[in-house]
Amino acid sequence: GAPDGAPAPLADCPDIFRRYCCRVLGRSFDVARAMYMSQESALCCSPSLRETLVAVHCPSPEGPQLVTLAEVEEYWKGVAPHDLCACPGDDAVLREAEIAWFLSVVIVRLTEAGYLDAEHRPTATALHARTRDACPELVSRARALSENWKVLLHETLQRLETPSTAYQLVTYDSEFVGVEAVGAVAVKQFRAVATLCTGEEYEERCFGDAEAAEQASAVAAFEALVYSTRFQGTPQHKEFSDNNWRDSNWKGLLLEWLAKRRSPVAQFDTWLVDDRYGWAEFQATVTVMGVEYQGVVGRTKKEAERFAAMKACRALGIE
């Protein structure tokens, strides 16, 4: 049976962990592919090699936490997955038992750390935005596995003007690049390059499998493609495409200019424009001496405010 302190019922642990990860990372995604790390091994009740869970990533405000097979075995003190399995000869049933056995310890660790409450729901601490800030790699993997980005990228390329002679709109080249130590666990790393028919290449690396790496490269290509074409051909695009906004602290220049004239402080108003494609886009206005200036969309609140400040500075002749 389960040791003292193990969550019950055991079969609920995978769903508890799935809901925890989706909530704290702010999106629905394939948690098993993103957070589980497996390797081939032979189990006592299985005549052939099979994928065995060896570690699980857990997002937390302190950064990614890793629960390893050694920790799980120590916790269960000799109780193995096949001891909990009604049909140990059935590989699929044994796999489910192994995952529940492993994740029960993950749930205990998250509860002990204060990230799950007594009803196994994410606490306010776990749901704080700093969890996502502390786990950029896990956020990236969650985003890559939240949609079929390869399909979305292909559909987007079809809608855009592309060379009529292009045989393929996008191709993927993926390869195994080696094994990397993550904590005490060795995991496979894959590299993928998405090459668009226009020649642009987007490279990403991912642990797990080649498909996850290809999805990650598709995310990078899709984000760049959609963002770069949003204002193409518009006056705003021409105004902001020269990247001058990156070279100056427009917000600082504006506030300094107002301070010298003892004018009222500029008022910024920022709002979310769109988050359908796995990342947020923001827009902002700044009110200076009663006049409102609106910038174009930015990928962060800070960037959106910088766009708005640049608009005001140019209108007021501040350089």
The SS3 of residue 68 is strand
Over the stretch 62-117, which tens digit does the pLDDT of each residue have?
999 999 999 999 999 888 888 877 776 777 888 888 999 999 999 999 999 999 99
The beta-carbon contacts of 166-170 under 8 Å, at least 24 apart in sequence, are: 166/197, 168/197, 169/196, 169/197, 170/194, 170/195, 170/196, 170/197, 170/218, 170/221
The residues spanned by each domain of the chain are 10-134, 147-229, 235-316
More confident call, 300 vs 217: 217
Fold for 147-229, please state it.
Double Stranded RNA Binding Domain (3.30.160)
pLDDT band at 191 (very low <50, low <70, confident <90, very high): very high
Confidence of residue 171 (pLDDT cuts 50, 70, 90): very high
- Quick one: average pLDDT of 155-174? 72
- Asked if pLDDT for residue 175 goes beyond 90, the answer is yes
84 close to 96: Cβ distance less than 8 angstroms: no
Residue 152 has pLDDT above 70, yes or no: yes
For 25, 55, 145, 259, the CA distances from 183, given in Å and listed in that order, are: 21, 9, 23, 51
Measured between alpha carbons, how far is 32 from 9 in angstroms, rounded to an integer?
A: 20
Instruction: Give CATH for domain 235-316.
Output: 3.30.160.20
Q: What φ, ψ does residue 39 adopt, rounded to 5°? A: -145, 160
**Are 147-229 and 235-316 equal in CATH topology?**
yes
Q: CB count, 10 Å around CB of 190?
A: 21
**Among 100-114, 207-221, 246-260, which is the least confidently predicted range?**
246-260
Sequence-distant (≥ 6) Cβ neighbours of residue 57 within 8 angstroms: 34, 35, 37, 64, 65, 66, 138
Distance (Å) of CA 23 to CA 2, 45, 179: 27, 36, 30
Find the mean pLDDT for residues 178-182.
Answer: 78
